[in-house]
Amino acid sequence: MPEMLIGLVIMLALLFDFINGFHDTANAIATSVSTRVLSPGQAIIMAAGLNFIGALVSTEVAHTIGQGIVKPEFITNEVLIAGLTGAIIWNLFTWYYGLPSSSSHALVGGVAGAVLASNGYAVLNGRGLAEKIFLPLITSPLIGFAIAYMVMGLIFVLVGNLAPRVVNRYFSKLQIVSAAFMAFSHGSNDAQKSMGIITAALLSTGVIETFEVPLWVILSCAGAMALGTSLGGWRIIKTMGSRIIKLEPVHGFAAETSAALVIIGASIFGNPVSTTHVISASIMGVGATKRMSAVRWTVARNIVNAWILTAPLSALAAAIVYFLIDMI
């Protein structure tokens, strides 16, 4: 029975990574596709490859996810199964409606909801949740907005006297680099979340003795995310690439570079952030440099609403799943 449960945790964690891949493909390639710098096929192949490579560079975020949400001694396979299922349900719901919500919020909310259903508030790692998870998740979009606003402003100062067609000709090449950087950064942060869940399951059942992510877990999660990315997420790509603001290559470069810098910085410090939130906020920051009305704030409001609802609704879904498991 324990072997079957841990097998189910691994399967669901890899499924979450796969869904995360096609759900969050838009984070890396939407701006490049919408500005026609890359074809959809080229963009997806590049994003899949660099997502895989990015997932191999570190395990700091995996440690935070595996040990920062709940006290390790209270992690059970049933909790992880319920938490992953709640996160998957929310991700599929938001993907269907084309809402770029946060897979990170969904996973944290799902695991927290399952823990609350099983043991109550006392077993949550309050300090870890506040300092290492929720604070970075909240502040990273604000930082992304601010950096994108400043980067776009600096670009205006440097090339503002050139004709727009000349600027976009140069930045159409640079945007390929920024899209690659964004795809790499996405893999460096998001793929590690499932690594943390699987490693926590292996530790809790005694398969491993210390919280060190095995190589096969790293490769499996990286591969699952890359495979999901290769299938694309066209509903969300459309929202990210064209409905927030009208993008030119120079805007895409500024947004992608700013977002990637924030995400890479978070990965280095082991902070799980929402790549969706960061790139969305960066696109808004770029749009705000034109004029505030250039941002389609109705679409932005719908995205923010999805951000706010993600953690609690994922938690609710996970709690319901846990109660059903417990009844069985």
Q: 130-134, 148-152, 170-174, 186-190: which has the minimum mean pLDDT?
A: 130-134
Mean pLDDT for 150-178 is 88
267 and 189 in contact (C-beta within 8 Å)? yes
Give the tens place of pLDDT for each residue, 190-220: 888 899 999 999 998 888 988 899 999 999 9
Q: Which of 55, 27, 32 is nearest to 42 (CA)?
A: 32
Cα 274 to its chain centre, rounded Å, is 4
Q: What's residue 122's pLDDT?
A: 76
Percent pLDDT > 90 in the chain is 29
Question: What's the full length of the chain, in residues?
Answer: 328
Residue identified by tokens 């090449």 is 173
Q: What's residue 241's pLDDT?
A: 44
Cα–Cα dist 209/246, whole Å: 52
Query: Crossing angle of helices 2-23/77-96, nearest 10°?
Result: 20
Cα–Cα dist 61/90, whole Å: 22
Cα–Cα dist 119/283, whole Å: 40
Q: What's residue 228's pLDDT?
A: 82
Give the tens place of pLDDT for each residue, 260-290: 999 999 999 888 888 878 888 898 888 888 7
Confidence grade of residue 295 (pLDDT, cut at 50, 70, 90)? low
Mean pLDDT for 225-246 is 61
Q: What's residue 319's pLDDT?
A: 94
Residue type, 323: F
**Predicted structure pTM score:** 0.85
> Rg of the Cα trace of the chain?
19
CA distances from 274 to 5, 71, 148, 171 (A): 28, 23, 16, 26
Q: What's residue 27's pLDDT?
A: 59
More confident residue, 131 or 115: 115
Average pLDDT across the chain, whole number? 83
Q: Is pLDDT at 235 greater than 60 in this prediction?
A: no
Mean pLDDT for 41-64 is 86
Confidence grade of residue 297 (pLDDT, cut at 50, 70, 90)? low
More confident residue, 119 or 245: 119
Cα–Cα dist 191/20, whole Å: 8
Q: What's residue 85's pLDDT?
A: 96
58 and 268 in contact (C-beta within 8 Å)? yes
Q: Is pLDDT at 60 greater than 60 in this prediction?
A: yes
297 and 283 in contact (C-beta within 8 Å)? no
What's the farthest any 2 CA atoms get from each other in the chain? 69
Q: 38-42, 149-153, 213-217, 286-290: which has the minimum mean pLDDT?
A: 38-42
